[in-house]
A and B are shown apart, each in its own frame.
Chain A
Amino acid sequence: MEYHAPRSLTEVTDLLANAGGRAKLMAGGTDLLAQVNKSGHWPAVLVDVKHVPELTALRWLSGGEWSIGAAVTGARLRDSVEFAGAWPGIAEAMGLLGATQTQNRATVGGNICNASPAADLVPTLVAARATCRLVGADSERCVPIEEVIIAPGKTCLRADEVLVEIRLPARAASAADAYLRATPRARMDIAIASAAVNLALDSAGRVSECHVALGGVFPVPVMASSAARTLTGWSSEDDSDTMARFKRQVSAACRPIDDARSTAEYRNEVIGVLAARAARLAWSRAAG
């Protein structure tokens, strides 16, 4: 196996273009090396992208947007007070991924490009309306994150493309997000179902904008748009009718399966509970 640790984005795209589909990108390696250790199948060319400045920058832009380099580690995101203030749900998803030794290496771009249906970070980024900047040897495009992950383990990236940064839109004054998941163990486990809610409130404390994304209940992390619309005009102080309707619509957006970790029936039930709790949590953060 050839190992390369380029220092610039041009070197990365040149390496990918020259490798003709035989190269794998690695950032933290927490998914890739675990898979290789198990399978024994090494890529012909490995391109380690964690020394490329564009991929390691974490920036709060003047317009209020955030730019997260694809190779920013979970620990950096989790520990940034400014970031966690703006996007507490994304920060808490990162704090739930593996444990300290995982978060010190695992990266935001890696969690996206590994394309697991149960990736902790992805539902929070979908709910945040994140876009991904993909750069190839002669191309550049920005793609909404829900279009990047197309199937379990598969992304829309061409063999010559690299995910460079993730952009998050600017926040309204009263806005917040939250992420909750169900796992048999509290830590070092993969979510059997997870829900991210991102909402903004008007001056009366009612939901003016809401996005809901679910993990572990569909072949890819999925938006629950009709459920999210149900919460328009909702306040956490309202009676529970809206919330009951919201839970039903969240379950309707799912297509869960039975597997070693849980059953479709349980996933269908618990996802509504998680989404409802995440909505209340996001509301109280936005109101506070």
Chain B
Amino acid sequence: MKHQLQFRVNGSTAILRCDSRDTLLNILRDGLGLTGTKDSCSAGSCGACNVLLNGDLVSACLVLAVEAQGGNIETIEGITADDRVQSVQNRLVESGAVQCGACMPGMVMSIKALLDATDSPSSAQVREALSGNLCRCTGYDVIVEAVKAAGVSQ
């Protein structure tokens, strides 16, 4: 079954056709070329495809494209508009918290969701917010430290 889709992505309107079986992740990457959102486990286990759908953090691999009809999507490519998230990103880069980098777009989207919901998150809240993102390189501490060092948390 084919669908005509329309939704907002990073502030622009996107119009495209999709199949019922397409996931939001497929159409972001293959339909719209937004490859910053990573395709990793396809099971909702790793957090690499995290995006915001109507303000809620979701795994794009576990959302059908048709479910995004009329919705508002924010991906890593749209994150530049957010100063606080930008300062976290800069600190992640400067402190060597990024190694292979595959997990980072999802990590940053989780941080954005946290900062959207919480003004000055505690260290525990930062850890909880990143608990759904797998990183196989760094061991996490340096990532949590970078978020704290960006001055957005307590």
Residues in chain A within 8 A of chain B (CB atoms): 1-3, 5, 28-30, 33-34, 37-38, 42, 46, 48, 75, 98-102, 104-105, 186-188
Contacts and interface: CB of A to CB of B under 8 A. Distances in A.
Nearest to A35: B43
Given A34-B44, A188-B131, A2 B20 contact: yes
B131 A29 contact: no
Given A100-B132, A101-B59, A38 B21 contact: no
Nearest 6 pairs between A and B by C-beta? A99-B132, A187-B131, A3-B20, A37-B42, A104-B56, A34-B43
Contacts of B131: 99, 186-188
Contacts, number: 83
B3 interface: yes
Contacts of A46: 20
Contacts of B66: 3, 5
B47 A101 contact: yes
B64 interface: yes
A34 B20 contact: no
Main secondary structure of the interface of B (DSSP, over half): mixed
A29 B64 contact: yes
Nearest to B129: A100
A116 to B, nearest CB: 14
Given A33-B23, A42-B21, A48-B67, A102 B129 contact: no
A46 B134 CA distance: 30
Interface residues of B, number: 30
A100 B63 CA distance: 15
Among B44, B50, B131, B134, chain A packs the most CB atoms within 10 A around the CB of: B44
B16 interface: no
B57 A101 contact: yes
Contacts of A75: 56
B58 interface: yes
Nearest to A51: B67
5 contacts: A5-B67, A30-B59, A33-B64, A100-B113, A102-B59
Given A3-B66, A188-B131, A188-B132, A99 B47 contact: yes
Contacts of B63: 29, 33, 105
Contacts of A48: 64, 67
B45 A188 contact: yes
B100 interface: no
Interface in B86-131: 110, 113, 128-129, 131
A38 B3 contact: no
Contact of B132 (A2, A3, A102): A102
B62 A34 contact: yes
A98 B21 contact: no
Given A30-B44, A100-B113, A101-B57, A3 B62 contact: no
B146 to A, nearest CB: 19
A37 B58 contact: no
B20 A104 contact: no
B143 interface: no
